[in-house]
Amino acid sequence: MNATPLSVSDRSTQYPHQKHQLEQDIGSFTNLLQQQPTLVLTGAGISTESGIPDYRGPTAKPRNPMRYQEFVKHARARQRYWARSAAGWLVVKQSKPNAGHVALARLEQAGLITGIITQNVDGLHQHAGSQDVLELHGQLSHVRCLSCGTTEDRLAFQTRLLAHNPRFQAQVSDIAPDGDAEIPDELITSFDVPACHKCGGVLKPDVVFFGENVPKVRVARAWQMLERAGALLVLGSSLTVRSGYRFVVRAVQDSKPVAIINQGPTRGDADASLRLSAPLGSTLGHLADALIAHQRDLNA
């Protein structure tokens, strides 16, 4: 099913001056989502207002993210990753949930969404109070040994990283959603990466790298979440990566409406029943207010 989106205009700069148009757009989403239990799929765009850049948004810079095979095969690649992560990870850890995360937690508490599948690894949905969150690509809060499978808290590993590199200091000017920071090459070449404290094996962040498969058990749970939902709401994702876009494809195959809010075009626009380009924080706040108010009216 290829549905023509009902709303494809860009409100990102118009909203402050066009309150009536905002109300119409929110009304369209409210009318669609109030009719069935809704599953939410989020991407990096929902965390940009928390100070974490995305990969493909309108302000995103070109990046060369670490790929799984490169990390596994080459010690220099691991040295590069962990040096840059040692500088950038704290920026992600110190980030706070924004209005968009809070709005989704409110919707879940009101029983208006069935859960969240997120492509993000920052943990901000849980910090905002959301409970039923499936982290499709894992979370940065732990590292895992590729040999024995032992996990280690990322904060503890950060302490070991800095203990192995006592003179390491880097000013972070730019980071990626996974905490990968731009730092001078000379800080990378001398960086010492500690091994697994149990077996001496290679440690990797407990996240899915580019070129790595999402664990099958995690994908199976995601399909179950979509199966019990009546609609799919996509937030802050360009859907360029197949691991997220496949849920749009399945929803359309199952005749479940798809609604998208994202700044910029997405791979799923042609499949969306509703499409809106707008800032997520304020827009989701208005949408949560409208849906909760409608629910309250029904229960009055």
Instruction: Compute the distance between CA of residue 247 and CA of residue 219 in angstroms, rounded to an integer.
Output: 10
Among the listed residues 20, 125, 127, 137, the single catalytic one is 137
The pair of three-digit structure tokens given for residue 194, joined into one six-digit string: 């500690």
Residue with tokens 């402050």: 16
Amino acid in position 20? H
DSSP label of 144: E
DSSP label of 14: T
Instruction: Report the sign of the C-alpha dihedral through residues 261, 265, 271, 274, in that order.
Output: positive
CA dihedral 66, 70, 74, 75 (to 10 degrees): 20
Characterise 211 by phi-psi region: left (phi > 0), alpha (psi -120 to 50), beta (else). left
DSSP label of 6: S
The pair of three-digit structure tokens given for residue 249, joined into one six-digit string: 């494809």
The backbone torsions φ and ψ at residue 32, rounded to the nearest 5 degrees and listed phi first, read -75, -45
Quick one: how far is CA 199 from the chain centroid? 32
**Catalytic residue status for 74:** no
The backbone torsions φ and ψ at residue 273, rounded to the nearest 5 degrees and listed phi first, read -75, -30
Task: State the chain's maximal CA–CA distance in angstroms.
Answer: 66
Instruction: Compute the distance between CA of residue 79 and CA of residue 192 in angstroms, rounded to an integer.
Output: 7
The DSSP secondary structure of 159-196, one letter per residue, reads: HHHHHH-TT-------B-TT--B---HHHHHTPPPP--
Instruction: Compute the distance between CA of residue 60 and CA of residue 76 in angstroms, rounded to an integer.
Output: 26
Q: Any idea which residues carry the catalytic annotation? A: 137
